Amino acid sequence: EGAELIDAVLDVVRKEAEGCDCLQGFTLSHSLGGGTGSGMGTLLISKIREEYPDRVMCSYSVFPSPKVSDTVVEPYNCVLSTHTLLEHTDVTFMVDNEALYDICRRNLDIERPTYTNLNRLTAQIISSMTASLRFDGALNVDLTEFQTNL
């Protein structure tokens, strides 16, 4: 369970944060349909926010779709997690699983997209969104500017 693991995870987060020259904030990618992404993910966000209230908290949150999974609890997990995201994140990018599924089918000609296809597409989205944070250039920004420009 997330509550049992949270202290160990936060120790790793603290260690990584201490090793940074100029910690701007945190970015978390998670799914809101399952118990780990919604429960542990939002618990981690709230705990990081408590310890680092002056840092930017950004999340890429994958919202569930009945096309991809038919688990009964996904809508409930999603609704309960959304409140925590509103409360503890500065920027949340909603990644719609159904839209990913449709993009794979219509634009990429993948008749029956797998989780691997959906995850690769999500990784491309995140990579494109964060390119200005990772590379030098005229469009280079930090997390605070990134948040402001949205």
> How close are the terminal C-alpha atoms of the chain, in Å?
35
**Contact indicator for 31, 73 with CB cutoff of 8 Å:** no
Catalytic: which of 1, 50, 87, 145? 145
Encode 28-43: b = buried (16+ Cβ within 10 Å), e = exposed.
Answer: bbbbbbbeebbbbbbb
Residue 145 falls in the annotated catalytic set:
yes
Q: Please list the active-site residues.
A: 145
